[in-house]
Structure 1
Amino acid sequence: MISPKQIYVMSAVAGINVATIYYNQPILNTIAQDLHVSALAVGNLPTFSQIGYGLGLFFVSPLGDKMNRKKLLLISHLLLALSLVGLSIVENLYALYALSLLTGLFAVSAQIVIPMAAAMSGKDKGRVVGSIFSGLLTGILLARTLSGYVTEWFGNWHGIFALSSVLVFACMVGIAKTLPNIEPHFSQSYGSLLASCVYQLKRFALLRANALLITVLFGVFCSFWTTLTFKLSLAPFNFNSDVIGLFGILAVAGALLAPYIGKIADKINPTFTKILSIAMIVVSIILMKVFEDSLAAFIIATLLLDIGFQAVQINNLAQIYTLDEKAHSRINTAYMSSMFLGGALGTAIGVYCWEHGGWALVSLQLLSLSVIALAIILYSALSSKHSKTL
C-alpha cells in the first residue's frame, strides 16, 4: 500500500514538474526587453514548451510500462534540472527555444508518477489519484503567479528557472528515498510500446468514452482560462495582470478539494458524479453569461467550474486505472494525449470566439461544449446499460 509520505512526494513531483512549462508565460515581455527581440519572437517559447510536453507525453511517459519507473523518474528529473539550469544562464533566443523544448519533454514526469501512484494504491485509487492530481493542478495554477513574483524579486527573468532547477533536484532526493522500485510488465520493442498506446483506445470502450469526455471538458477549461484574462482586463473590471493572477490562487482552493473528491469517487456511482459535476460547470457558465458584469458571479463561477472539472477528471482517472494494471502508462498516454489535444483546440476556439463575438460568443461556446460533454456521458451510460442486458 502507498504511504502518506509517498503521496506527498508524488504530489510535489507532479506539481513542480508541470509548473516548469508555464513559468515563461507571464515573463515573456521581460525576456523580450532583455534580449532586445520582438514580443512575437519570445511568444514562441510557450509553444516550444507545449510541443516538448506533447512529445514527452507520447514518446517518454509510455516507458513507465517498459522500464523501472523509479529509474525513469530519476533520469527524467536529472535531464529536466539540467535544462532548467541552461535556461537560467543563456541569453540567446534560439538556445531558449531548444531548452524550452527539452524542458517540456522532460517535465512529463508528472505523467509517469500518476500511473505509478495508481499501481501502488490498491482499492483507494480515487483518493490517491485525487491527491496527486491536486498537486499537479496546484503547480499549473500557481506557476504563473510564482514566476511573476520571483522575477520581480530577483530583478531578472533567470531567477525563476534557477529556483525551479533546485526544486527539481530536491524532487530527485525525495524520489530516491521514498519511492519503491517497480518492475515493468512490457517486454516487447519500443515501437510496439508506442503502437500499444493507440491500441488501448481500441481495446477499452470505457477509455474511449472517458478520453472523448475529457477532450471536450479540457477544451472548456482551457478556453475559459484563456478568455477570462481578456474579460477581466476590460470594463467594468479593468484589472491588471497581477489582480487577474489572483484568480489562479482562487482556483487552487478548488484544487485542494481534489483528494476529498477522490474519496467520493471511490464510493459513489461515477456516472452520477460526472453528471452532477457537469451540471456545476453549466451553472457556472450561465452565471457568467447572465451576470457578466458581476465580480461575485465570476468568483463563484470560477470555483464551480474548477471543482466540476476536477471531479470529472478524478472519476475518469480512477476508472481507467482499473482497466489493466500492466498497461497503466500506455492507458494514461492515450487518455492524456486526448486531453491536451482538447485543451489546444479549446484555447484556439475560445480566442476565435472572443475576437469575433466577445464574451457573449465565448460563453455560448462554453455552454455548447458542456452540453456536448453531458450528452457523451449519457450516451456512454445508456450504451453500457444496453450491452449488459444483451
Structure 2
Amino acid sequence: MALAAALGTSTIYPLQPAIADVAAALDSSVAAVGLALACGSVGYLAGLGLVVPLVDHLAPGRVLAVQLAVLALALGAGALVGHVVVLAVVTGVVGACSTVGAGLSSVAGRFAPPHRRAAVLGTVTAGISAGILAGRIAGGWLADELGWRAMLLVLAGACALTALACSALLPGGRGTADRGYVATVRSLPGLLVAHVRLRRAALRGALWFFAFCAVWSGLAVALSAPPYSYSAERIGLYALAGLSGILATRVAGTSTDRVGARPVVRTGLALAALATVALAFGLASTVLTLACLAVFDAGLFAAQVANQSTVLALDPTAPARFNSAYMVVYFVGGSLGTGFGAVAVEHVGWEANVLVAAVAIATAASIAVPEPVAATTEIPAR
C-alpha cells in the first residue's frame, strides 16, 4: 500500500523540473506549460471529492487497480501529446487519479485493527511523503537521462504493474457504505457542518499545510534570487531534508496508537513552529536551513498522521467520505499557501513569509484536539 501510494502521488510532479524541455517540444511558452501542469492540482482536488469515496462502495482492490490503470493510460497519452491544450487535459486526468494515496489511507482506516490504525496510516503516509519527494527528484533525473516523454512511459509501466498488484493483494470485498455514490458525494459538505471533530481537524490540517506550502514555495523564490542565485538543481536538493518527514510518519503512527492524537499533534506542531521561526534568520547557512527544514517537515508530517487518524476513526466502516471531506479542505489550504509563499517572498521578503507560516502553525495548535473516544460516539450524518 505504501509503495502504491508513493507511486500514485509522485505522478503529479515529475514534469515540473522539465518544464522548459516540454515547452520547447510543444513549441509553446513556459508560462503556458506551467498553466497546463497546474491542471494537475485541479484534477487532484476533483479526485478527492469524486474518486476517493468509491473506496467505501466498491472493492478497494478493484477501485485502486482501475484508478492506477487509468493513470498508466493517461501518462502514456502524455508521452504522445503534441499540443499544450492536450497536455492540460491529460495532466488533469493524472491529477485526479494520483489521489491513490488518499484512497489507500481510507483503506487503512477501514481495515486496520483499531489499536494499530494510526501505525498503518503512518506507513501509508510515509509512502505519500516519499512520492512527494521522489516525484520531482526522480522525474528530473529520468527526464535528463531519457527525455521527458520516455520518463512518462516508464512511470506508465510502473503504474500498470502496480495496478495488477493492487488487484491481486488488496481486499476484494465490496464496501459497507449504506448510501449511494451520488448521495455520498453530495453529503461531503454536510459532514463538515454536522461533525465538529471533522471540522476542527480539517481546519487544523489546512492551516499547517498552508504553512508547509508557503515555506517550500517561498524557499525556491528566495534561493533563486540574489544574494544566493542558486540553480534549480541545487534548490531541488533541499527537498532531501523531507526524508525526515518519512521517518516521522512511522514514529507518529505508533505513538498515536499508544498515547493518543493530542500529544503527538501538539509536539509535532511545537517543533515545526520553532523550526519555522529559526528559518526566518538562518537562510544564509545551508546546514542550519537543512536542519530546520528537517525538523519542520518531521513535525508537520507527524501532526498530519495523528490528526488524520482522528478523522478515519469517526466512521471506520466507511471512512473514505470523511477522508475526502478532510483532504479537500486540507488541499485548499496548501494551494493557498503555495500562492502566498511565492508572492510574499517577492514583495515582503523571506522573513515575513516564514513568520506568517509560524503564526498559521500556532493557530492550528490552538484548535483543540479531542481525547480518544469510541468511533461510535458520533453518528455519521445521513
TM-score strictly above 0.5 = yes
Structure 2 distance, partners of 1:253, 1:111, is 21
**Aligned partners of 2:180, 2:319: CA distance in 1, in Å?**
17
When residues 119 and 188 of structure 1 are mapped into structure 2, their CA distance, relative to the original with a 3 A threshold, is closer
Match of 2:132 in 1: 140
- Which of residues 189, 194, 199 in structure 1 aligns to 2:185? 194
CA distance in 2, matches of 1:59, 1:234: 40
TM superposition outliers: structure 1 runs of 4+ over 4 Å: none
Comparing 222-231 with 250-259, greater Cα deviation is found at 250-259
- Residue aligning to 1:216: 207
State whether residues 279 and 292 of structure 2, in contact with CA within 8 Å, keep that contact through their aligned partners in structure 1. Answer: yes
- Runs of at least 5 residues in structure 2 that lack an aligned partner in the other structure: 378-382
1:35 and 2:26 matched: yes
Q: 2:168 aligns to what SS in structure 1? A: helix
Q: Kindly state the Cα deviation for residue 54 of structure 1 after the two structures are TM-superposed.
A: 0.8
Q: Give 2:142's aligned residue.
A: 150
1:69 matches 2:60: yes
Residue matched to 1:50? 41
- Deviation of the 1:326 alpha carbon: 2.3
For 1:35, give the aligned amino acid.
Answer: L
Aligned residues: 372
- Between the aligned residues of both structures, percent identity stands at 25
TM-score, normalised via structure 1 length: 0.91
The verdict on how the C-alpha distance between 1:171 and 1:381 changes in structure 2, with shifts beyond 3 A counting, is closer
CA contact 2:245–2:298 (8 Å) conserved in 1: yes
Q: Which amino acid aligns with 1:257?
A: A
Q: CA deviation at 1:169?
A: 0.9
Deviations 1:176-202 (A, max 9, x none): 222121321224333211122223223
For residues 351-381 of structure 1, what are the alpha-carbon distances to aligned partners after superposition, in whole Å with 9 as ceiling and x for unaligned?
221121111221221122122112223xx56
Aligned pairs for 1:136-285 (under 5 A) are: 136-154=128-146, 156-285=147-276
Which residue is equivalent to 2:120? 128
| CA–CA separation in structure 1 for the residues paired with 2:207 and 2:173 | 34
Q: 1:23: how far off?
A: 1.3
Q: Which amino acid is 2:185 matched to? A: L
Aligned-residue RMSD, C-alpha:
1.8
For 1:257 and 1:216, the matched residues in 2 are separated by: 19
Greater mean deviation of Cα atoms: 62-71 or 50-59 = 62-71
C-alpha contact (below 8 Å) 1:353/1:365 kept by paired residues:
no
Equivalents in 2 of 1:212, 1:41: separation in Å? 33
CA separation in 1, counterparts of 2:191 and 2:323?
Answer: 10
Q: Which residue identity lines up with residue 138 of structure 2 in the other structure?
A: L
Please list the CA deviations of residues 104-157 of structure 1 after superposition, one character each: whole Å capped at 9, or x if unmatched. Answer: 122222221111122221020111100000001100111111111111101x21
Is 2:76–2:156's contact at 8 Å kept on the other side of the alignment? yes
- Letter of the 1:120 partner, please give it: F
Instruction: State the match for 2:329 in structure 1.
Output: 338
CA spacing shift, 1:265–1:360, aligned 2, 3 Å: same
- Secondary structure of 1:238's counterpart equals coil
SS in 2 for 1:327: coil
Query: Which residue pairs with 2:380 in the alignment?
Result: none
CA contact (8 A) 2:41 2:95 kept: yes
